[in-house]
Amino acid sequence: MNTPNKLTIFRMVMTPVFLAAIIMDIPHRYLWGIITFSIAAITDALDGNIARRKNQITVFGKLTDPVADKMLTTAALLAFMQLGLCNIWIVLVILTREFAVTSIRLVASAQGVVIPANIWGKVKTISQMAFTILIMLLKELEYIGLIPTTAPLALVSNILLGITAILTVVSGAIYIIESSKIIDFSK
């Protein structure tokens, strides 16, 4: 297994570590969440960069890298939902898109076609990761007293995640349109 694929697997392993860090009622859980999530998110940039630079792009990587991203970002959404920082409808919209795109990838794979993530999917993932870190940073600043506990952080969080949901719908629609040109949905 090459280094990019090992990094993808590492991101998958870090997902439950991140989830445990943020949902456990421990001091500075948001700081621990930032640290674990950031380490995992950095592997997303590294694995693709290394794969392209060293010509180590594999079918395994093309298929599992987006799954690892979905695992990490979904864990954040679920944690935020449990902590009152994310509306359930945002989670539903994002997960519906993720399942639809994954289903299309499976159909394509069965037909011998690999459809890598497009730029819109990458923008969606980057926004999810950046907003996740920002939300946890705001909550950590609230925890240490630099932001008043009366600040509407749940509203801010839902607005940021709502932007991500919109990007998710756009990227999913573009992915479906592009994929319909190269795979046969009648089989």
52: domain CATH number is 1.20.120.1760
Query: Tokens standing for 105?
Result: 């990838």
Overall domain count for the chain? 1
Answer yes or no: is pLDDT of 124 > 80.
yes
Query: Tokens standing for 98?
Result: 């993720």
CB-based contact 69:44 (threshold 8 Å) = yes
Answer yes or no: is pLDDT of 107 > 90.
no
Ramachandran angles phi, psi of 176, nearest 5°: -65, -45
Distance CA 10, CA 20 (A): 16
Residues 6 or more apart whose CB falls under 8 angstroms from that of 45 comprise none
| Residue 59 falls inside a structural domain | yes
Q: Does the reported pTM lie above 0.85?
A: yes
Residue 33 pLDDT level (bands cut at 50, 70, 90):
very high
DSSP designation for 180: T
| Residue 186 falls inside a structural domain | no
| Residue 185 falls inside a structural domain | no
What's the average model confidence in pLDDT over 110-124?
A: 83
Q: In the prediction, which pLDDT does 27 show?
A: 96
- Please tell me the least confidently modeled range out of 29-43, 75-89, 171-185: 171-185
Answer yes or no: is pLDDT of 153 > 90.
yes
Going 138 to 43 to 98 to 173, the CA torsion angle's sign is positive
pLDDT 10s digits, 160-184: 999 999 999 999 999 999 888 888 7
pLDDT 10s digits, 37-58: 999 999 988 998 899 899 998 8
| Residue 184 falls inside a structural domain | no
Residue-number span of the structural domain to which 111 is assigned? 3-179
Helices (H), 54-118: 59-82, 88-110
Distance CA 166, CA 163 (A): 5
CB-based contact 171:124 (threshold 8 Å) = yes
CB-based contact 104:176 (threshold 8 Å) = yes
- Torsion angle defined by CA atoms of residues 22, 28, 30 and 33, in that order, rounded to the nearest 10 degrees: -60
| Residue 38 falls inside a structural domain | yes
Distance CA 35, CA 133 (A): 9
Residues 6 or more apart whose CB falls under 8 angstroms from that of 68 comprise 8, 9, 11, 12, 15, 44
| Residue 157 falls inside a structural domain | yes
